[in-house]
A and B are shown apart, each in its own frame.
Chain A
């Protein structure tokens, strides 16, 4: 006796995910139900189309980039572990994380949240946000409502303000520096119930 969805998820897997991500047991089983309901092909992995079927995500201007964040380099399928690992970035930051590996940085640290946002810009993963990459994201967010020149000058100004080593692109450390006053923990966290 056991339910259809959670019987495919073994206790050992749940324990491992718990250690890696910090989600509770019931959160993991509920997220597994969600994963399962999104998985229309029932092959234990999600494709990009499975994500695009969510209307609220499809109308999000950055929808495609967010979906991209789930898929590791060059792959088209994400399994449950990968799904949870990406979602873990959005767990709220707690002060006392007990049953976690003290040497590894938790996935929901301020640094990792910033890295998630950085990777939304940095499509080619060269650890630099170039002018083109910045323009692409800007264009996604504003649609057709702003001209190329205006957008170009917004991008130039942003890079000018952030760039400290003069290479006309924004590295991760420059990114962190610009956003040091922003409350990243609150803006990039979702309150998961039980």
Chain B
């Protein structure tokens, strides 16, 4: 069946039911693409496993991070209507009756993440506060009618799970009822009254607290609502507040000022607003990185460039955690898809087991790894032969290398955190404030070769005692929290340092007093005074280097330095790192942060980039006249200013194209010329597609 027609634009293809397969398993696509792929099934399974783990971990993190916010929100919701029903004769409550309790939830600019947050919020509220939670989006509610309609239909749905029987009758009403606040409150009364007798039987917490649970309305994107709808709704519902206990939650992306900009004073005075600030997305990112990448829990790692790209997209484009995780997913997929040895990218015991079953082909793959080759070259010649010829010894070696890699990572992250403790509070943050910046630098090269590192050491040498001690304390905690054996004595050493610092306090005072006493100035003549002053000066300059504290500080700094030099080797020095590290930053950038403009421009400007024909090779900025017509036309149009004359354009085009032909320009038959001249206008519509703003 053709997919072009002059009468319609949509073509449905529906294969017969008998013919249709149950559905091709996804794994098939994983291996078919590459003909010589090894263990593709296993790789795909590993991918799915790791991805599931990562996903659940991120969800858990999100929940954890939102917990504080949600707790305070719930508290607010619970208190807001509590006074309402108990002592309604109180005068202050009368006033409060008029005010709709409102929570303004500032979510930040990362709009894409809001959905997830609000969804979990809805869930939490439904479990803890009230079954009646409705969330509305601006695009669903262009006017009051739709607003109420959505509200009512969602409210009814909320109730469905409680009394499914009534659903049908409710829906019948729904069709006919003219939506109004009156009908809504009437409905509410009927529902609460009806359920009242049932309530005690239910074990939910909210039922015992309130006879009538409040209705929570979440406006997901407060900024994009029409002001009129909002205003009307608020005014109307404040009138009905006593019979319809409404609570509003505004999702705000920008700043709380927006409430007052959207709502005039008369309306906003009907609200009793409380502000809630959600977690900043940067913190969120740090936690995610911390828990997903800076840990040995997940074997998969990112190389420096990839990490840089992902964080750049995050910081410069959208601040969206969702997108960051999507990037992570893509890199995970790409890694398993393109690297046959990624089969070893799993937890250590499993990886060791898998090495046993590696095929001869895979062994060859291992030998081909650059990092492994480097490693082999360093070995004795006997071992080299063994590694290169015998699969058995290769597998054994691989196992031990994998274990080394694991140990390397354990130590690496500990030392990284430790170094971060030292650098994160230095003035001007030479190695970055966030651990991810430090991580990036350490991944890239030997950190101790960089200027920033040198300046860090210098700054550390200037630290005061209490600062240094605080840092050491933190480091001690970091090391203590881990169970790594090798670094166990490091923790001990830090403890010693701490003890020494403490003991310094007492000894230092004694020294000072003794020095002062011995150097107490006596009454002398000028010559002696000068002499003694000079002596003192000398003494001071020498003693400066000799203060116990300074010696100790120097020791600490060199200790940290030695730690860094020993453990923070960049991963590409480690044999077999290719199995765990995804390094193809190029593909990631292409797929996530593509630049269609550049692609179009390159295609038009430099066709050789795509069509590897020698005839098209040319110096910068020139196009041979054999190039595709569209390139020539584009080039000519670039020559022009903002507007272009079609005739001139076509004539110029003809000149360029005919210049290639040997014949005298005069001998070109009119028809051929016609053809050439007409040609650009066949293309014309296409160029205008690609370069419309330029041609106008």
Chains A and B form a bound pair: no
